[in-house]
Amino acid sequence: MASMNWRSKSTSSFAFVNTALCLLLVLHFSTTCEAKLSSKFYDKTCPNAISTIRSSIRSAISRERRMAASLIRLHFHDCFVKGCDASILLDDSPRFKTEKSALPNRNSARGYELIENAKARVEKICPGVVSCADVLAVAAREASLAVSGPSWTVKLGRRDSKRAYPDEANTDLPGFTDSLDRLISRFAGKGLSARDMVALSGAHTIGQAQCFTFRNRIYSNTSDINASFARSRRSRCPAAVNQGSSNLAPLELVTPNSFDNNYFKNLIQKKGLLQSDQVLFSGGSTDRIVSEYSKNSARFRADFAAAMVRMGDIKPLTGSAGQIRRICSAVN
C-alpha cells in the first residue's frame, strides 16, 4: 500500500513538473511546448493505465454489448469536433454549453458514464496523469475487440480541452442524410481520405439507429432501397412523424452485434439503413471500395484499424495545451 501511495504521488508530481517546465519555456523563450503522441506515453508514469481501462470497458460491454458501438461513435464524435480532446464529455458550465445537446449527439450519444468510470479507476492509481481524451481513445479500441473487431496501436499523450464546442458539433459532424460528396468533403477537412471514410463507416456493422434517422428512406419507394427490406423496417418505424421516432433498429440485420463485413454486403443489396450509408454504394466513386470490403474482410479490418489511428491524430492537445481533467464531465 505504501509503494502505491508513493507511485501515485510521484506520477502526479512528474506530470506537474513537466507542465511547469513547458510553461517556463513559453514565458521566457517565446516558444511552444509540443509533444508527439506515443503508444508508450504512460509506460513510466502510469504503467497500469491501459489494463485498468481495458478491464473497466470490457466489463461494461459484457453487460450491454450494444455499448461497443456507442463508445466507438463517441470517440468519433469527439475527434471530429476540434480534435480528439474529450470536449464531448463536458457538461454545461457557466462558460460554455455542452456538446451533448448538439443535434448529432442529443438523445443518441451514449457511454459517457463508462468513460467516467474508467477514468475514476485510473485516477485511483495515477491521479492527474491520464487524460480523458486518452481514456476515450483506448476505450474505442477495447470496444472493437470486445465484439470481435480489429485492434490497433493507440497513440497516447493527448490532453483535455478546457471547453466544449456545441456550434462546431452541429456543423462538423456527418449527418444521416449527407450526400457522398458531402461526406467525402467532411472527412477530407479532417485529413481523412475517401477510403478512410468508407472504412470508418463500416463501424455501422454494429449498433442501432433511431427511427427518425431512417423514416424518410424506408417510406420513399425510391430505387436505391430494397423494397422488402424497407417494408420489414416499417413495423418498428411508423410513417407518422409523431410516432415511434426514438424506436431502435439495428444498422445491420444479419449479425448486428458482431464486427464483420456484412454491412458492405448489405449496401450492395441496397439494404443500407441510413441514406448516408447507402450513398457509399450508389454509382459513385466509393462503389469499388465497398465492393472490395464486401469480398475481403481482412482488407476492411486492416483499413478500419489504420483509419482509427489516423482519426486519433486529429488535432490533439499536447505538451502544455489544455489540461488533465480530474473528472471528465468538468474542467478542473
Dmax over Cα atoms in the chain, in whole Å?
A: 69
In whole angstroms, what is the distance from residue 117 CA to residue 53 CA? 9
Rounded to an integer, the average pLDDT of 32-51 is 88
Confidence check: pLDDT of 22 > 90: no
Confidence of residue 35 (pLDDT cuts 50, 70, 90): low
The CA–CA distances, whole Å, from 245 to 69, 210, 227, 250 equal 20, 7, 21, 14
Three-state helix/strand/coil letters over 49-79 = HHHHHHHHHHHHHHHCCCHHHHHHHHHHHHH
pLDDT tens string 192-207: 999 999 999 999 999 9
Confidence check: pLDDT of 310 > 50: yes
pLDDT at 124: 98
Question: What residue type is 111 in one-letter code?
Answer: G
pLDDT at 314: 98
Do residues 259 and 150 lie in contact, with contact meaning Cβ atoms separated by under 8 Å? yes
Q: Can you state the angle between helices 297-312 and 194-201, rounded to 10 degrees?
A: 110
The CA–CA distances, whole Å, from 101 to 70, 104, 198 equal 16, 8, 27
pLDDT at 221: 86
Of 28, 75, 77, 204, the catalytic one is 77
In whole angstroms, what is the distance from residue 140 CA to residue 111 CA? 11
pLDDT at 24: 45
Lowest mean pLDDT among 12-21, 157-166, 177-186, 254-263: 12-21
Do residues 126 and 15 lie in contact, with contact meaning Cβ atoms separated by under 8 Å? no
77 belongs to the catalytic site: yes
